[in-house]
Every structure is written in structure tokens, then in C-alpha cells.
């Protein structure tokens, strides 16, 4: 009794030590190893994420500027539009001006409709009393392009922004472009375009970063044109405007990520260092809390495990012993999920063992039955062949050549259909069998129809399922032919790797509704006998060739039916038959 008490105390002490060491050691090792690399890993991940988002925003802005450039060239360089503008400026008649005005407005609306990135579009003549000649939207009264903030000069046009839209009832930030239009006359004419009213807001989206990020837009001359979201210290704004080849730099507690556009401007993302390191700091705090919690929980868990594990463990051991003694007795559960899971597996194993014992006994009984049926299936065809051979010899002895020929053909057909040879045969073997079958049918029908076979010699060795053509030929005879009919079997090469097998008759054909039922494996069609052979052929082709085969039926009522099969060229050795 004393030894048992000491053993229990030793188990509890061991559990406490093992759990504390097992819980804390992995956490400490992971914490030490992770801490040495987490800073660089998270810094790289966050930095790469910000750089990727920054590039995506910059690409969107470049695309918007390229769209403005493309659209402005349509308005300023397209010969037809420029010609119409010149005609409008030179026209004196109001009616002619009105016609030209309608044409130009239609072209402006068409370009705006096909390019959703473009907003306000206007032809302006600054020297006129009313500088706006044509526009797709109403403009502000104080419409003056020269007062807008210059962004860059690109591809022969001036770009401005970000600035408030010149749309009369809008207050969104946009980018704009002004390009000169070469028309006749003394006064200069320009095409003015703005980006879509919501494009600016869509490009610079804080949600793409997952943290607070400030954007600075640097124009072609290196001047800070706009701090897009929020305010920044003056020194950070100044540093962002200075030219630098570095895409990432740290300045006065801020991270600066820079993108230099081929168009000449820069986009800078500014992230406060505390925000940038927030994920790293959060991880450090979590690791400290995890270590302290693990230390407290390990001691408490050791006590619970020691209390809960010993009794159920003895019960599991007892059930194992009982299972070895008596398989049929059900197990007794412990009400502990983990141990009951093991006991439940034991119970399932008991049930499987009992089921296997019953299955073995049942299989032994069935085995004898199957052996008897196998012998009968071998005896019946053997008896039939022997009987037919006897009739054949009697016919020969009595000089009955037609009966001798008929029985000989019947023996060959039965031997092919009921024989023990492989289910996979060659085209040559299938053709020999179908010739015997058709000759037998012609004798039966007193030669009322013709039968023709045409086979390419290069496909005679191709492998096909046995008994493939006879159901199709049988359908042609029973359901298609009338007096003076004909059945043609044509087997040719189809390309370099396929075989085409055709069974063609000149009978009554199949009605479209009946053909649709046949192709859909309709049960009623099978009951009438029409689809039984076709269903067998279709099943055999799918079993041995799958999606590599093609089966088609072409039938014209009153003219005949053609069944076409295309299968890949394979040898008998290619099948595991």
C-alpha cells in the first residue's frame, strides 16, 4: 500500500515537471528563435505590402493620365474633328454652326461613353468672351485653366492637379489635361479633359494598406503639389520632395516609400514608425502574455490530468483484456472523450471482427454454389456444341449440304459468342465472325438482302471488344430492312491513330423521336428491343475506350440508317483483359 502511494505521488510530480517543461520550453525556444528574425520578416512583409500597394496606386494614376493623353489626341489630332472645329470657327451661318455643333457634341459624348475614366471634356478658347465652346458638362463661371496647379508636361500636353473639378456642381478632386488644337484662325484653341469624378478617391484608398498611410504627390519639377490624406511635419514634406534613388528610407520617425513614374512625377507613401511597427510590438506583447499564461496553466493542467488520467487508463486496459477474452461483450465507457474514442474504436473493431467471421462463413457456403454454377455454365455450351456436331455429321452422311452449311455456320457463331476466348479481339476476328453470322441470316431469310464487307488491311490487327458489330447488324436486319435491302460493314483508318467502323443499311430508317429515345437510353425503347443491342455496344465502348470513342447514328426515314464508331487504334496487349 505504501509503495502504491509513493508511485501515485511520483506520477503526479512527474506530470507537473513534464508539463511545465513541455509547455514552456517550446514557447521559449520559438520566442527566442522568432525574436531574432521576426523584425526583419515582418518589416519585409509590411514594407513589401506598402510598396506593392503604392505601385498599384501609381499604376492606376499612370493609366488615368494615359487615358487622358489618348482621349485628348483624339480630340486634338483627329483630322475630322479638327476640320469640323475649323469649319465651326469660320462659319457665319447659324444653321451651319448648329449642324457642326451637333456633330462635335456627338463625338465628345461618344469618346466619354467609351472611356469611363474621363469626366469633364471641353473645347476652350481663352481669348474669347465665353472661353468654353463645347462641353459635355456644365462648367464653373470662373473657368480658368492657367490658375490650376501645374503637375507636368507630358507628350505635348500640360497636366494639372490634383485640384477641384471645373464641373459646376461637383467638388471632387481630379487631374486634368490641356492640349492645343491646331485650327485655322488667330485665336488659340485647346481641348480640356478631367479624370472621372470618383477616380481620385478610388486610386488612393487607405483600406489597401491596412494601416494609416499618408500620400504625397511630387510633380515633374520636384515640388510637393499635394498631401493627399492628412498633415505631415514640414521636414518630412521637404524630404519627400527631394530627389532620391532609394525606394525606402527612414527619416525622423517616419518610413518613406517612393515610386518614380516614367511620366516624370513621384508618389510617396509616408508611414509613422510606431504604426509601421505596431504588428511587431503586438507580437512581442502576445509572446510575454503567452509565456506567463503557459506557466500558470501548466501547473493547473498537470493536476487535472493526473486526477483524470489514472482511473480511465485502468479501465481502458481492462477493456483491452476483456476484448482478448470475449469479442462479443460490449465495452464499458469511461465518460472521458479521449478514452471513450479509443474504446469506441475497440467496439468498432469487435463489430468488424464479428462481421468478418459471419462473412467468411457465408462466403464458404456461396463458394460451393458458385463452383456448381460454373460447372453448369461450362457443361451447357459443351453439350450444345456436341449436339450440333452430331447433327452436322448426320447431315453430311445423308448428303444434306445446306443443313451441313447451316449447322457449320451456327457452330462458328456460337463458338465465337459463347466461347472462352478473350473479350478483346482483333478487327479481323470480328469480321470473320460477322461474315458467318450474316451468311446464317441470309440463309434464314432466303437471301432477300445483300451483305457487303469492306475492310482496310492496315486495321485488321486493331483491337475491338468481342461481339461489337453483330448487335448493330442485327438491328439493321430486324428493324430496318425490307425486300431487296442491303447491309454494308465498312471499316477504314480514320487519320493516323483511329479506326472508323460503319454499319449501313438502306432500310426504312428511324424516326427522329424514336432516334432521340434510343440515344437517351430510354427504357421503353429497350423494352421494344430497339435499344438492347445499341446499349450493349455503347456500354462496351465506354468501358474499354472511355471518352476516346465516338458513337453516332445518322438515320433518314425511307432511306436508311448509318451507325458510325470511331475508336483509337490499340493492340490486344494494350488491354488488361
pLDDT at residue 454 tops 80: yes
Select from 43, 52, 59 the least CA-distant residue to 269: 52
Summarize pLDDT for 522-551 with one digit per residue, the tens: 555 454 545 567 888 888 888 888 889 999
User: Does residue 564 contact residue 577 with C-beta atoms inside 8 Å?
Assistant: no
**Exposure of 60 in the CB half-sphere (CA atoms within 13 A):** 17
Where is pLDDT greater, at 21 or 432? 432
Select from 333, 331, 328, 374 the least CA-distant residue to 351: 328
Strand partners, 425: 464
* Cα separation, 349 vs 351, whole angstroms: 5
Q: Which three cell numbers stand for residue 280?
A: 511587431
139 secondary structure, DSSP code: B
159 secondary structure, DSSP code: E
Where is pLDDT greater, at 418 or 214? 214
Residue 489 banded pLDDT, cuts 50, 70, 90 = very high
Q: What percent of the chain has pLDDT over 90?
A: 6
* Cα separation, 107 vs 83, whole angstroms: 13
Number of domains in the chain: 2
User: Does residue 465 contact residue 501 with C-beta atoms inside 8 Å?
Assistant: no
What domain range includes position 237? Answer: 11-329
* Whether the bond into 492 is cis, omega within 30 of 0: no
> CATH number for the domain including 198?
3.30.450.20
Bridge-based pairing state of the strands 485-494 and 449-455: parallel
Residue 163 lies in a domain: yes
Residue 242 lies in a domain: yes
Q: Which residues, 6+ apart, have CB-to-CB distance to 349 below 8 Å?
A: 323
- Are residues 318 and 465 both part of a single domain? no
Ramachandran area for residue 20 (φ above 0: left; ψ -120 to 50: alpha; else beta): alpha
Q: Which three cell numbers stand for residue 345?
A: 474504436
* Grid-cell match 465665353, residue found: 130
pLDDT at residue 372 tops 50: no
Last residue of a domain, one of 307, 329, 351: 329
Q: Which three cell numbers stand for residue 71?
A: 482621349
Beta strands per DSSP E along 357-477:
424-426, 449-455, 463-465
pLDDT at residue 566 tops 90: yes
- Are residues 145 and 274 both part of a single domain? yes
* Grid-cell match 487508463, residue found: 313
- Are residues 322 and 453 both part of a single domain? no
Residue 402 lies in a domain: no
Select from 315, 283, 332 the least CA-distant residue to 38: 283
Last residue of a domain, one of 306, 329, 352: 329
Residue 337 lies in a domain: no
Summarize pLDDT for 252-290 with one digit per residue, the tens: 888 888 888 888 888 888 888 777 777 777 777 887 787
Last residue of a domain, one of 302, 329, 356: 329
Strand partners, 181: 189
- Are residues 311 and 459 both part of a single domain? no
Residue 510 lies in a domain: yes
Bridge-based pairing state of the strands 498-505 and 485-494: antiparallel
Ramachandran area for residue 268 (φ above 0: left; ψ -120 to 50: alpha; else beta): beta
Select from 88, 496, 18 the least CA-distant residue to 298: 18
> CATH number for the domain including 497?
3.30.565.10
Residue 127 lies in a domain: yes
Select from 225, 252, 263, 228 the least CA-distant residue to 241: 225
Ramachandran area for residue 556 (φ above 0: left; ψ -120 to 50: alpha; else beta): beta
Strand partners, 255: 250, 271
484 secondary structure, DSSP code: T
- Are residues 322 and 460 both part of a single domain? no
167 secondary structure, DSSP code: B
* Cα separation, 154 vs 176, whole angstroms: 12
Residue 339 lies in a domain: no
- Are residues 117 and 247 both part of a single domain? yes
207 secondary structure, DSSP code: G
Summarize pLDDT for 290-329 with one digit per residue, the tens: 777 777 777 677 667 766 676 677 777 777 777 666 666 7
- Are residues 312 and 459 both part of a single domain? no
User: Does residue 190 contact residue 179 with C-beta atoms inside 8 Å?
Assistant: yes
* Cα separation, 78 vs 71, whole angstroms: 10
Residue 493 banded pLDDT, cuts 50, 70, 90 = very high
Q: Which three cell numbers stand for residue 478?
A: 430486324
* Cα separation, 352 vs 131, whole angstroms: 93
pLDDT at 7: 42
Average pLDDT over residues 504-524: 74
> Helix 94-114 crosses helix 2-77 at what angle (to 10 degrees)?
160
Q: Which residues, 6+ apart, have CB-to-CB distance to 394 below 8 Å?
A: none
* Cα separation, 240 vs 231, whole angstroms: 13
- Are residues 461 and 321 both part of a single domain? no
User: Does residue 329 contact residue 343 with C-beta atoms inside 8 Å?
Assistant: no
- Are residues 310 and 455 both part of a single domain? no
Summarize pLDDT for 40-62 with one digit per residue, the tens: 766 777 778 888 888 888 888 88
* Cα separation, 121 vs 140, whole angstroms: 13
Residue 522 lies in a domain: yes
pTM for this prediction: 0.45
Amino acid at each position: 500500500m505504501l509503495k502504491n502511494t509513493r508511485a501515485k505521488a511520483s506520477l503526479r510530480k512527474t506530470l507537473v515537471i513534464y508539463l511545465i517543461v513541455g509547455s514552456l520550453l517550446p514557447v521559449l525556444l520559438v520566442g527566442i528563435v522568432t525574436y531574432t528574425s521576426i523584425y526583419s520578416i515582418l518589416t519585409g512583409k509590411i514594407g513589401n505590402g506598402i510598396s506593392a500597394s503604392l505601385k498599384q496606386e501609381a499604376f492606376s494614376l499612370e493609366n488615368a493620365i494615359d487615358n487622358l493623353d489618348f482621349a485628348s489626341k483624339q480630340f486634338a489630332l483627329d483630322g475630322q474633328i479638327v476640320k469640323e472645329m475649323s469649319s465651326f470657327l469660320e462659319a457665319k451661318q447659324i444653321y451651319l454652326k448648329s449642324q457642326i455643333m451637333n456633330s462635335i457634341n456627338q463625338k465628345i459624348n461618344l469618346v466619354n461613353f467609351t472611356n469611363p475614366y474621363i469626366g469633364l471634356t471641353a473645347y476652350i478658347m481663352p481669348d474669347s468672351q465665353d472661353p468654353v465652346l463645347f462641353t459635355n458638362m456644365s462648367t464653373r463661371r470662373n473657368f480658368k485653366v492657367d490658375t490650376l496647379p501645374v503637375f507636368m508636361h507630358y507628350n505635348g500636353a500640360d497636366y494639372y492637379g490634383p485640384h477641384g473639378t471645373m464641373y459646376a456642381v461637383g467638388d471632387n478632386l481630379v487631374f486634368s489635361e490641356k492640349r492645343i488644337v491646331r485650327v485655322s484662325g488667330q485665336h488659340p484653341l485647346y481641348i480640356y479633359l478631367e479624370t472621372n469624378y470618383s477616380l481620385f478617391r478610388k486610386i488612393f484608398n487607405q483600406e489597401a494598406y491596412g494601416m494609416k498611410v499618408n500620400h504625397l504627390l511630387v510633380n515633374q519639377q520636384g515640388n510637393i503639389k499635394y498631401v493627399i490624406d492628412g498633415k505631415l511635419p514640414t521636414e518630412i514634406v521637404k524630404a519627400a520632395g527631394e530627389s532620391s534613388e532609394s525606394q525606402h528610407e527612414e527619416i525622423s520617425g517616419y518610413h518613406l516609400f517612393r515610386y518614380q513614374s516614367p511620366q516624370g512625377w513621384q508618389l510617396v507613401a509616408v508611414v509613422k514608425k510606431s504604426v509601421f511597427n505596431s504588428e511587431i510590438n503586438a507580437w512581442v506583447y502576445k509572446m510575454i502574455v503567452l509565456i506567463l499564461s503557459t506557466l500558470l496553466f501548466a501547473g493547473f493542467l498537470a493536476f487535472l490530468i493526473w486526477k483524470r488520467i489514472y482511473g480511465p487508463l485502468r479501465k481502458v486496459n481492462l477493456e483491452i483484456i476483456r476484448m482478448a477474452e470475449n469479442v462479443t461483450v460490449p465495452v464499458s465507457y469511461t465518460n472521458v472523450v479521449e478514452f471513450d474514442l479509443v474504446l469506441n474504436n475497440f467496439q468498432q473493431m469487435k463489430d468488424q471482427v464479428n462481421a468478418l467471421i459471419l462473412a467468411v462463413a457465408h462466403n464458404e457456403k456461396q463458394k460451393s454454389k458458385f463452383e456448381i454454377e460454373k460447372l453448369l455454365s461450362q457443361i451447357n455450351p459443351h453439350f450444345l456444341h456436341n449436339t450440333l456436331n452430331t447433327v452436322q455429321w448426320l447431315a453430311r452422311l445423308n448428303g444434306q449440304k445446306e443443313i451441313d452449311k447451316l449447322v457449320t455456320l451456327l457452330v462458328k457463331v456460337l463458338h465465337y459468342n459463347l466461347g472462352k476466348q478473350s473479350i478483346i479481339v482483333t478487327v479481323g476476328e470480328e469480321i470473320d465472325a460477322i461474315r458467318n453470322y450474316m451468311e446464317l441470316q441470309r440463309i434464314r431469310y432466303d437471301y432477300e438482302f445483300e451483305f457487303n464487307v469492306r475492310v482496310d488491311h492496315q486495321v485488321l490487327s486493331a483491337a475491338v471488344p468481342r461481339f461489337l458489330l453483330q448487335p448493330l447488324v442485327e438491328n439493321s436486319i430486324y428493324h430496318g430492312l425490307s425486300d431487296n435491302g442491303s447491309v454494308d460493314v465498312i471499316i477504314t483508318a480514320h487519320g493516323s491513330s483511329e479506326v472508323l467502323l460503319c454499319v449501313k443499311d438502306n432500310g426504312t430508317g428511324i424516326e427522329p423521336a424514336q432516334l432521340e429515345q434510343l440515344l437517351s437510353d430510354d427504357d421503353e425503347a429497350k423494352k421494344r428491343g430497339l435499344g438492347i443491342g445499341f446499349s450493349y455496344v455503347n456500354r462496351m465502348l465506354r468501358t474499354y475506350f472511355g471518352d476516346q470513342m465516338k458513337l453516332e447514328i445518322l438515320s433518314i426515314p425511307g432511306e436508311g440508317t448509318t451507325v458510325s464508331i470511331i475508336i483509337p487504334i490499340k493492340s490486344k496487349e494494350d488491354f488488361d483483359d
